[in-house]
Chain A
Amino acid sequence: MIIYHSINDLVSLSEQLKLPMWQVIRKADCEARQVSEEESFATMKKMYQTMKQTDADYDKNLVSPSGMAGGAGEKMRVFNASGRNLAGEYLGLVMEKALKTGESNACMKRIVAAPTAGSCGVIPAVFLSFEEFNHMLEDRMVEAMYITAGIGAVIAENASIAGASGGCQAEIGSASAMAAAGLAYLQGGDNECIVHAMAFALKNMLGLTCDPVCGLVEVPCIKRNSAGAVNAVTSAQMALAGIRSAIAPDEVIDSMRRIGNELPACLKETGMGGLAVTESAMKVKEKLDAR
């Protein structure tokens, strides 16, 4: 049986079996669910294609029931096309796509939870932009999706991917770490590079609180998808440049768990602290309650 419980396990299994990391993760999936390699790959491909569909179906006119979410992805697209893009073409596109998927989720459109609905924009933003920008073969993107899934499974087992138990670091932080690892692979990084990209991304997000306005997956979640996606690119680029994390990747995950436990309840999806109790948030709440 191929079973992994840590980032170290993934790296050593990849060396022992002389298989790329994504194939180790696929093999483990085939054994766990009793499916063939082709079936597993087809399921992952469907997930990736659904992400693509969500992006393509973005409706710039949609507004969420609270009135807080909608139209930001379109504004970013227009700005990116205006010639004043600060961040470079790839990063501009990453930001635009993260907002689009995050807003689509808030407006009750179909998305892929990756790892959660609140953080569903991070991985598609990084991956779809990379595919478009570099004219990648879709199958190669699906291989990288396995890396994101394997890394996410390790984080879920050793820390958390739920805002209610770990804060936003567990949602956007995890998504960003997963995306960074996949992106490092796509750009030709080896296993060491992949796991250090993961470590950088997660370290940069440690301590992030979950304090959404009115408990809705809108503010600050949607824009944080954009920040998490850009952080994934920063992190992959550092790892690809040969920079290494001083803290071992598994220890970063363990830190995230401890920090999550130490965060007070008011900052873990209860709507009782942080941004959720600001004057502006109260005004939104009054309007919502009045309906």
Chain B
Amino acid sequence: MNIFDIIGPVMVGPSSSHTAGAVRIGYISRKLLGENVKSAEILLYGSFLATGKGHGTQKALVAGLMGMKADDNRIPYSLELAEELGIEITFGEALLRDAHPNSVLLRLLGETGRTLEIMGESLGGGIVNIAQIDGIATNFSGDYPTLVVHNIDQPGHVTEVTSMLAHKSVNIASMQLYRSNRGGDAVMVIECDQEVPADSIQWLEHIEGIKKVTYLSLQG
């Protein structure tokens, strides 16, 4: 156990799950979008919906979407800051079934028109889980550089991605594969020990059968 999970993290209050965890979900989502957010639809569920106002959950999510981390003193003013920057934010209720009690569904539009739908769960103590990307189940914490590849479910795509990683000396910490149905949409979630180079990600995007690549970098 990391003793700085016991003494720490440094965070803006009041709640590690409803505030710090919410900032983190927003932050990871912004990173996965890969560009500044132009508009965001934020749909809250469960305890996030019920007690979010008193915990500053909405401010925390918006702060994260603007690239702030959990210890940023500007978190309480994030809604005003977003308005000044012309970022369009709408809040609502997420209609989910059997979801984690602290869940949020984010529908994001980036400044170049890139879109992303993310379901995040705040598990407590500031730890989060990204449970869905664009409607397909995933399961990662954002603690590692994470590569998410959407492809058509057909032979060879896993080899293309893992060969590229081997070639760039990137070690795989964990790997998960999901698909909607045989021959349909598939997703690979790969947590890495090193950062994946930007040009390799662009290269992946141009491979036939690969529909979308999102990447969570821990740098910057």
Mark each residue of chain A from 201 to 219: 1 if its CB lies under 8 Å from any CB of chain B, else 0: 0000000000000111110
Known contacts A117-B16, A217-B15; is-contact A47 B10 (Cβ 8 Å): yes
Mark each residue of chain B from 37 to 81: 1 if its CB lies under 8 Å from any CB of chain A, else 0: 000000000010011011110010000000000010101100000
Instruction: Tell me if A198 counts as interface (CB < 8 A to partner B).
Output: no
A218 touches B10 (CB 8 A): no
- Chain A residues, CB < 8 A from B217: none
Known contacts A117-B19, A150-B3; is-contact A105 B14 (Cβ 8 Å): yes
Instruction: Tell me if A33 counts as interface (CB < 8 A to partner B).
Output: yes
B16 touches A216 (CB 8 A): no
In the assembled complex, the Cα of A112 lies from the Cα of B4 at a distance in Å of: 10
- Chain B residues, CB < 8 A from A152: 3, 6-7
State the main secondary structure of chain A at its contact with B.
helix
In the assembled complex, the Cα of A32 lies from the Cα of B11 at a distance in Å of: 23
With both beta carbons as reference points, the residue of chain B lying nearest to A105 in the complex is identified as B13
- Chain A residues, CB < 8 A from B4: 29, 43-44, 47, 149
Instruction: Tell me if A95 counts as interface (CB < 8 A to partner B).
Output: no
Instruction: Tell me if A172 counts as interface (CB < 8 A to partner B).
Output: no
Cβ distance B193 to chain A, nearest Cβ, rounded Å: 12
- Chain B residues, CB < 8 A from A245: none
Instruction: Tell me if A191 counts as interface (CB < 8 A to partner B).
Output: no
Instruction: Tell me if B198 counts as interface (CB < 8 A to partner A).
Output: no
Cβ distance A182 to chain B, nearest Cβ, rounded Å: 10
- Chain A residues, CB < 8 A from B3: 25, 28-29, 146, 149-150, 152-153
Known contacts A153-B1, A217-B55; is-contact A162 B7 (Cβ 8 Å): no
Which of A110, A116, A157 is B16 in contact with, Cβ under 8 Å? A116
- Chain A residues, CB < 8 A from B73: 109-110
Instruction: Tell me if B181 counts as interface (CB < 8 A to partner A).
Output: no
With both beta carbons as reference points, the residue of chain A lying nearest to B73 in the complex is identified as A110
B15 touches A162 (CB 8 A): no
Instruction: Tell me if B20 counts as interface (CB < 8 A to partner A).
Output: yes
Residue of A116, A120, A145 with highest tally of chain B CB at under 10 A? A116
Instruction: Tell me if B183 counts as interface (CB < 8 A to partner A).
Output: no
Known contacts A29-B3, A149-B7, A288-B53; is-contact A110 B71 (Cβ 8 Å): yes
- Chain A residues, CB < 8 A from B19: 108, 117
Instruction: Tell me if B2 counts as interface (CB < 8 A to partner A).
Output: yes
Mark each residue of chain B from 1 to 36: 1 if its CB lies under 8 Å from any CB of chain A, else 0: 111111111111111100110000000000000000
A113 touches B53 (CB 8 A): no
Known contacts A148-B7, A164-B124, A216-B54; is-contact A113 B16 (Cβ 8 Å): yes
In the assembled complex, the Cα of A257 lies from the Cα of B204 at a distance in Å of: 48
Cβ distance B10 to chain A, nearest Cβ, rounded Å: 5
A271 touches B1 (CB 8 A): no
Known contacts A108-B75, A149-B3, A156-B1; is-contact A113 B8 (Cβ 8 Å): yes
B1 touches A214 (CB 8 A): no
In the assembled complex, the Cα of A49 lies from the Cα of B5 at a distance in Å of: 17
Instruction: Tell me if A183 counts as interface (CB < 8 A to partner B).
Output: no
Instruction: Tell me if B120 counts as interface (CB < 8 A to partner A).
Output: no
With both beta carbons as reference points, the residue of chain A lying nearest to B59 in the complex is identified as A108
Cβ distance A253 to chain B, nearest Cβ, rounded Å: 14
Known contacts A32-B2, A117-B20, A288-B53; is-contact A218 B14 (Cβ 8 Å): yes
In the assembled complex, the Cα of A209 lies from the Cα of B16 at a distance in Å of: 19
Instruction: Tell me if A161 counts as interface (CB < 8 A to partner B).
Output: yes
Known contacts A110-B12, A116-B16, A120-B13; is-contact A216 B51 (Cβ 8 Å): yes
- Interface residues of chain B, those whose CB is within 8 Å of chain A, are 1-16, 19-20, 47, 50-51, 53-56, 59, 71, 73, 75-76, 124-126
> Can you report 18 residue pairs joining A to B where beta carbons are below 8 Å apart?
A28-B3, A47-B10, A65-B53, A107-B13, A107-B14, A108-B19, A108-B75, A109-B73, A112-B7, A114-B7, A117-B11, A148-B7, A152-B3, A156-B5, A162-B124, A217-B13, A217-B55, A288-B54
Contacts A65-B54, A110-B71, A215-B47 known; list 11 others, CB within 8 Å. Answer: A43-B4, A50-B10, A106-B13, A108-B59, A113-B16, A113-B126, A117-B16, A117-B19, A156-B6, A217-B14, A291-B53
